[in-house]
């Protein structure tokens, strides 16, 4: 079948019988047809991607995440009328690659602006296979071609293919054509499966041919792919993994060199398309005395309105204009233009909306008590749900059973694991690889949307919760915790402060490591990737029986079994990790006195002993990923501060004084903790803190120049809500110490950011908090497209070079949507800090 690259849209001829159709209707149909099908040339812009109205095609502007393999942000990508709909246009070795399947190694990217061409060189070193992908502007699309200098290795024949992945949520309830035959994209995966000789299963293609048109009925999502020689295959990747996408694939031919494959890709462009404005504001609302500034986000081609209007909603539903004011222009950040709308002068309590042009914001409140209960879902729901080794019940629902009671086997030596875990050349314990380590099956929280006990996360959470309890006297009691029964019941007060119960739970996990092996360990995680990708009840990951290798895989005596499903404990010694652990133990000892005296005493004694041991020897500096602690000096400073606060012993104050260069060099991270120690430090240290805070004030002002939100927005593969919250907490503690130097606004802006005053949308990043909040997130229940109330997601991920994104229709993008317990704990602190400042 011959295909014309220029004939990329589905052409349909409508024959009108003039006596049957009115002239106005004909004009409307003709105009609509022209808008939907008009050809618009794609050009390579200064940001090094291809652009037309409503269409951006990126060519390796982003790269797979080296730490977590395929993060669905790489290769040829399409941003279609403001939404990223396609990614991973690249040579892959599976029809529907899973996250941990092989990815290529990046070599070089060359941009030829003159010829409108981007060449990207890559390789699969294990197969000695190198290739180049060329993306070249042609008329209203991009010619995508694969080039080989040498013939494809025999081992990759029938395996290596050009793939492109389309996000299912953009194409649900839409149709497609393959060589003129139409069908509907399946809402739920149900492909026919095939199995090769090795037992590997994969989905058969839903359709094959040479011309594929996706969503022909939708002008905003219509994409056409044509290949004259190679067969196009359309697969549903969700048959292999819930986070899979629809995949278009063509196998590379064997025995050929040069240009071995070519696709023509065109994404429909609606002439004159302009993205709708976003009115970014706090979904929770504002305190009457608080500064109130909404941020208007506009398409770079939009003509801005001059004003915005605040309207109060009456009990009868009437919208009453309260204030109309001119906008102040901030300028361009990423690909959008920004304006500020200040309505700080409005203080009357009530429900309000903001109107800008034809857009109206979600309703929000102005009131004195809006922050008082904003942390309750995180305290009442999210943290109980994350509790490991406990059955967690909520009314008629069981979130999960008492999981991982068979923790844990000693991890093998010289082993690099997934999720940034590794074991060094020795176990650093009295246990042999594979041997059961007793006593680790207590306490701790599921780290994030997965089920590991990452020690570095655990001690951050304990420290944050201790500070929240100490500083704000959080006595809320809504949860029953029964350790004897390993049972947690949400919405069931038991007469004990929830905050102390959570601190106890984290402390038990930390102290268990010191009891079992004498030091902090990187963490505990499942041994096999099939368990790591587990979705659902954590109890079903294992049989909860200790593994006994002498037993058959189906044999059990009720206490042990031959089923190899126990988690591994990674136990390599790390002095920074040890310091981080004892910092949390020392902090916990302060608040557990009178609540769990024996645990409080054991925690402080352990902390003091480990401090002496570590200071008496050369440090253990085993390091891998983010599981072995921060830098040695940073973690040591934390331990010194918490031990000083717990013991009042001046030897720790002396060490803090000696470590001033560490505080000075990383002031944004350490200043808040250092202020905690000020009452126990000498005047010289206080003066140094004051002087450094004054310098830091000028650093804060730079954020107002970097972006229109006035907070540090990260650009890594993990979005930056955690950084924004820590920034605010640091500023709060500095404000409390030096109120004349650090303004409260540096605290308020960050919480407003979390609640909706951020790029891309105005959604609250705390599920269940605010009028419109995250309802689709990456928790353990992500396959259900649901949320855990009180969980905080990472937030807006800024894709290179200029695209801010946070998907509310696809939970599986962990860099944007994965709950992490340490961010939840710091959020609890921040909300109470803001509430305290506003109600002083």
pLDDT reported for residue 453: 97
Count the Cβ atoms, other than its own, within 10 Å of residue 463.
27
User: Dmax over Cα atoms in the chain, in whole Å?
Assistant: 99
Average pLDDT, integer, range 438-462 = 96
Count the Cβ atoms, other than its own, within 10 Å of residue 705.
10
782-804 residues labelled b (16+ CB within 10 A) or e (exposed): beeeebbbbbbbbbbbbbeebbb
Closest C-alpha among 152, 321, 164, 299 to residue 233: 164
Domain boundary among 590, 607, 637: 637
Query: Is the residue at 380 inside a domain?
Result: no
Closest C-alpha among 419, 531, 535 to residue 543: 531
Query: Per-residue pLDDT for 701 more than 90?
Result: no
Which pLDDT tens digit goes with each residue over 575-611?
A: 999 999 999 999 999 999 999 999 999 999 999 999 9
pLDDT reported for residue 561: 96
Count the Cβ atoms, other than its own, within 10 Å of residue 665.
11
Mean pLDDT for all residues in the chain: 94
In terms of domains, do 179 and 240 share one?
Answer: yes
Which pLDDT tens digit goes with each residue over 618-672?
A: 999 999 999 999 999 999 999 999 999 999 999 999 999 999 999 999 999 999 9
In terms of domains, do 595 and 529 share one?
Answer: yes
Contact between 590 and 500 (Cβ < 8 Å): no
Query: Is the residue at 9 inside a domain?
Result: no
In terms of domains, do 308 and 214 share one?
Answer: no
**What is the C-alpha to C-alpha distance for residues 800 and 92, in angstroms, rounded to an integer?**
22
In terms of domains, do 169 and 210 share one?
Answer: yes
Cis peptide bond prior to 199, omega within 30° of 0: no
Which neighbouring-strand residues pair with 645?
none
Q: Give the total residue count for the chain.
A: 840
**What is the C-alpha to C-alpha distance for residues 667 and 692, in angstroms, rounded to an integer?**
8
Which pLDDT tens digit goes with each residue over 627-640?
A: 999 999 999 999 99
C-alpha of 301 from chain center: 30
**What is the C-alpha to C-alpha distance for residues 500 and 456, in angstroms, rounded to an integer?**
20
In terms of domains, do 122 and 222 share one?
Answer: yes
Which pLDDT tens digit goes with each residue over 787-829?
A: 999 999 999 999 999 999 999 999 999 999 999 999 999 999 9
Count the Cβ atoms, other than its own, within 10 Å of residue 354.
24
Helices 597-615/498-517 angle, 10° precision: 50
What DSSP designation does 197 have? Answer: T
pLDDT reported for residue 40: 67
Q: Is 153 left (phi over 0), alpha (psi -120 to 50) or beta?
A: beta
**What DSSP line would sit under 451-493, residue for residue?**
--EEHHHHHHHHHHHHHHHHHH------EEEETTTTEEEET--
How many CA atoms lie within 13 Å of 695's alpha carbon, on the beta-carbon side? Answer: 11
pLDDT reported for residue 126: 96
What DSSP designation does 391 have? Answer: E
Contact between 297 and 763 (Cβ < 8 Å): no
Which pLDDT tens digit goes with each residue over 465-516?
A: 999 999 999 999 999 999 999 999 999 999 999 999 999 999 999 999 999 9
Query: Is the residue at 188 inside a domain?
Result: yes
C-alpha of 794 from chain center: 4
In terms of domains, do 311 and 164 share one?
Answer: no
Average pLDDT, integer, range 763-781 = 97
In terms of domains, do 548 and 614 share one?
Answer: yes
Q: Which domain holds residue 579?
A: 390-637
Count the Cβ atoms, other than its own, within 10 Å of residue 417.
22
Most confident of the following: 61-75, 185-199, 522-536, 824-838: 824-838
How many CA atoms lie within 13 Å of 766's alpha carbon, on the beta-carbon side? Answer: 34
Query: Is the residue at 382 inside a domain?
Result: no
Which neighbouring-strand residues pair with 333?
336
Average pLDDT, integer, range 231-255 = 97
Closest C-alpha among 649, 623, 650, 647 to residue 634: 623
pLDDT reported for residue 740: 96
Query: Per-residue pLDDT for 528 more than 70?
Result: yes
Q: How far apart are the first and last CA of the chain?
A: 76
Helices 498-517/575-592 angle, 10° precision: 140
Query: Is the residue at 7 inside a domain?
Result: no
Residue for token digits 């019940």? 393
Which pLDDT tens digit goes with each residue over 324-345?
A: 999 999 999 999 999 999 999 9
What DSSP designation does 765 have? Answer: S
pLDDT reported for residue 771: 98
- CATH number of the CATH domain containing 763: 1.50.10.10
Count the Cβ atoms, other than its own, within 10 Å of residue 813.
22
In terms of domains, do 607 and 666 share one?
Answer: no
pLDDT reported for residue 39: 52
Which pLDDT tens digit goes with each residue over 549-570?
A: 999 999 999 999 999 999 999 9
Count the Cβ atoms, other than its own, within 10 Å of residue 204.
14
- 3-state DSSP call for residue 220? coil
Phi and psi angles of residue 75, each rounded to the nearest 5 degrees, phi first: 65, -150
SS3 content of the chain, % helix, strand, coil (to 5): 30, 25, 45
Phi and psi angles of residue 307, each rounded to the nearest 5 degrees, phi first: -135, 165
Report residue 644 as tokens: 């000083």
Average pLDDT, integer, range 731-753 = 97
Report residue 603 as tokens: 């925690």
- 3-state DSSP call for residue 675? helix
Helix intervals (H) in 525-666 = 529-532, 575-592, 597-615, 632-647, 650-658, 660-665
In terms of domains, do 452 and 361 share one?
Answer: no
- CATH number of the CATH domain containing 120: 2.70.98
Closest C-alpha among 836, 840, 837, 835 to residue 370: 835
In terms of domains, do 331 and 420 share one?
Answer: no
pLDDT reported for residue 537: 93
Query: Per-residue pLDDT for 61 more than 70?
Result: yes
**What DSSP line would sit under 79-106, residue for residue?**
EETTEEEEEEEEEESSSS--TTS--PEE
Pairing state of beta strands 232-236 and 319-326? unpaired
Average pLDDT, integer, range 249-277 = 97
Which pLDDT tens digit goes with each residue over 4-32?
A: 333 333 333 333 333 334 444 433 444 44
Total of domains in the chain: 4
More confident call, 66 vs 60: 60
Query: Is the residue at 124 inside a domain?
Result: yes
**What DSSP line would sit under 111-172, residue for residue?**
EETTTTEEEEEEEEGGGTEEEEEEEEEETTEEEEEEEESSPPPGGGTTT-EEEEEE-GGGTT
- CATH number of the CATH domain containing 349: 2.60.40.10
**What is the C-alpha to C-alpha distance for residues 80 and 165, in angstroms, rounded to an integer?**
14
Query: Is the residue at 3 inside a domain?
Result: no
pLDDT reported for residue 17: 30
Report residue 480 as tokens: 């029953």
Contact between 606 and 582 (Cβ < 8 Å): yes
pTM to 2 decimal places = 0.94
C-alpha of 714 from chain center: 12
Phi and psi angles of residue 158, each rounded to the nearest 5 degrees, phi first: 80, 0
How many angstroms separate the Cα of 568 from the Cα of each of 412, 560, 686, 787?
Answer: 9, 16, 46, 29
**What is the C-alpha to C-alpha distance for residues 767 and 71, in angstroms, rounded to an integer?**
23
CB within 8 Å of 543: residues ≥ 6 apart? 406, 556, 561, 563, 565
Domain boundary among 199, 232, 267: 267
In terms of domains, do 547 and 451 share one?
Answer: yes
Share of the chain above pLDDT 90, in %: 91
Residue for token digits 């918490």? 642
CB within 8 Å of 168: residues ≥ 6 apart? 185, 238, 245, 246, 810
Report residue 562 as tokens: 């031959």
Domain boundary among 321, 351, 366: 366
Query: Is the residue at 11 inside a domain?
Result: no
In terms of domains, do 26 and 170 share one?
Answer: yes
Closest C-alpha among 765, 754, 757 to residue 790: 765
């Amino acid at each position: 079948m011959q295909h014309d690259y220029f004939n990329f849209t589905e052409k349909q001829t409508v024959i009108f019988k003039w006596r049957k159709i009115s002239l106005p209707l004909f004009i409307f149909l003709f105009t609509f047809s022209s808008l939907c099908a008009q050809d618009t040339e794609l050009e390579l812009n200064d940001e090094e991607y291809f652009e037309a109205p409503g269409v951006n095609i990126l060519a390796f502007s982003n790269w797979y995440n080296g730490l977590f393999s395929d993060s669905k942000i790489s290769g040829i990508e399409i941003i279609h009328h403001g939404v990223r709909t396609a990614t991973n246009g690249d040579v892959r070795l599976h029809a529907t690659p899973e996250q941990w399947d092989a990815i290529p190694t990046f070599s070089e990217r060359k941009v030829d602006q003159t010829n409108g061409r981007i060449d990207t060189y890559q390789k699969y070193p294990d197969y000695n296979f190198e290739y180049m992908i060329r993306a070249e502007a042609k008329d209203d699309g991009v010619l995508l071609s694969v080039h080989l200098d040498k013939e494809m290795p025999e081992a990759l024949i029938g395996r290596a293919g050009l793939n492109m992945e389309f996000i299912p949520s953009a194409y649900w309830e839409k149709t497609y054509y393959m060589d003129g035959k139409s069908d509907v994209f399946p809402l739920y995966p149900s492909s026919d499966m095939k199995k090769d000789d090795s037992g590997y299963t994969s989905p058969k293609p839903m359709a094959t041919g040479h011309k594929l048109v996706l969503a022909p009925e939708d002008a905003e999502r219509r994409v056409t792919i044509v290949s004259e020689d190679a067969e196009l295959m359309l697969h549903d990747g969700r048959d292999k993994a819930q986070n899979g996408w629809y995949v278009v694939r063509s196998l590379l031919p064997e025995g050929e060199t040069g240009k071995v494959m070519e696709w023509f890709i065109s994404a429909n462009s609606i002439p004159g398309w302009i993205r709708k404005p976003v009115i970014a504001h706090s979904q929770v609302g504002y305190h009457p005395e608080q500064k109130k500034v909404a941020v208007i986000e506009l398409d770079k081609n939009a003509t801005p309105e001059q004003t915005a209007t605040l309207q109060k909603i009456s009990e009868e539903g009437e919208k009453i204009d309260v204030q109309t004011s001119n906008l102040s222009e901030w300028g361009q950040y990423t690909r959008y233009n920004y304006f500020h709308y200040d309505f700080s002068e409005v203080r009357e309590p009530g429900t309000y909306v903001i109107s800008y042009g034809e857009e109206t914001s979600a309703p929000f409140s102005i009131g004195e008590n809006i922050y008082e209960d904003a942390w309750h879902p995180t305290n009442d729901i999210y943290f109980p749900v994350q509790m490991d080794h406990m059955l967690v019940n909520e009314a008629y629902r069981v979130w999960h059973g008492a999981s991982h009671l068979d923790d844990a086997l000693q991890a093998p030596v010289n082993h690099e694991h997934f999720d940034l875990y590794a074991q060094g050349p020795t176990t650093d314990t009295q246990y042999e690889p594979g041997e059961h380590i007793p006593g680790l099956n207590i306490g701790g929280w599921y780290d994030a949307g997965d089920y590991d006990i990452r020690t570095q996360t655990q001690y951050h959470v304990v420290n944050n919760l201790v500070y929240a309890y100490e500083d704000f006297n959080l006595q809320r009691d809504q949860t029953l915790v029964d350790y004897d029964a390993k049972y947690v019941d949400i919405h069931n007060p038991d007469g004990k402060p929830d905050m102390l119960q959570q601190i106890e739970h984290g402390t038990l996990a930390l102290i268990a490591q010191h009891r079992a092996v004498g030091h902090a360990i990187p963490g505990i995680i499942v041994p096999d990737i099939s368990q790591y990708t587990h979705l659902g009840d954590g109890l079903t990951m294992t049989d909860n029986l200790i593994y006994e290798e002498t037993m058959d895989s189906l044999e059990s005596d009720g206490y042990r079994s031959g089923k190899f499903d126990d988690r591994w404990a990674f136990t390599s010694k790390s002095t920074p990790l040890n310091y981080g652990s004892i910092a949390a133990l020392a902090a916990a000892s302060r608040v557990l006195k009178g609540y769990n005296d024996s645990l409080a005493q054991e925690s402080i004694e352990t902390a003091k002993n480990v401090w002496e041991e570590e200071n008496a020897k050369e440090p253990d500096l085993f390091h891998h990923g983010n599981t072995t602690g921060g830098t040695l000096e940073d973690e040591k400073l934390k331990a010194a501060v918490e031990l000083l606060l717990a013991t009042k012993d001046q030897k720790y104050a002396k060490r803090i004084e000696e470590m001033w260069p560490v505080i000075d060099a990383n002031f944004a991270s350490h200043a808040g903790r250092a202020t905690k120690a000020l009452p126990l430090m000498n005047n010289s240290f206080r003066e140094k803190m004051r002087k450094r805070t004054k310098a830091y004030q000028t650093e804060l002002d730079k954020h107002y120049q970097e972006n229109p939100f006035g907070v540090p927005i990260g650009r890594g593969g993990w979005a930056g809500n955690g950084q924004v919250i820590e920034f605010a907490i640091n500023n709060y503690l500095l404000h409390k110490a030096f109120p004349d130097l650090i303004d409260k606004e540096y605290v308020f802006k960050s919480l407003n950011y979390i609640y909706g005053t951020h790029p891309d949308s105005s959604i609250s990043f705390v599920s269940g908090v605010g009028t419109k909040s995250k309802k689709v997130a990456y928790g353990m229940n992500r396959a259900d497209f649901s949320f855990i109330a009180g969980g905080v997601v990472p937030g807006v991920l800024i894709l290179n070079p200029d695209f801010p994104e946070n998907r509310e229709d696809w939970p599986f993008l962990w860099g944007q949507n994965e709950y992490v317990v340490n961010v939840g704990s710091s959020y609890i602190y921040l909300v109470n800090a803001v509430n305290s400042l506003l109600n002083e």
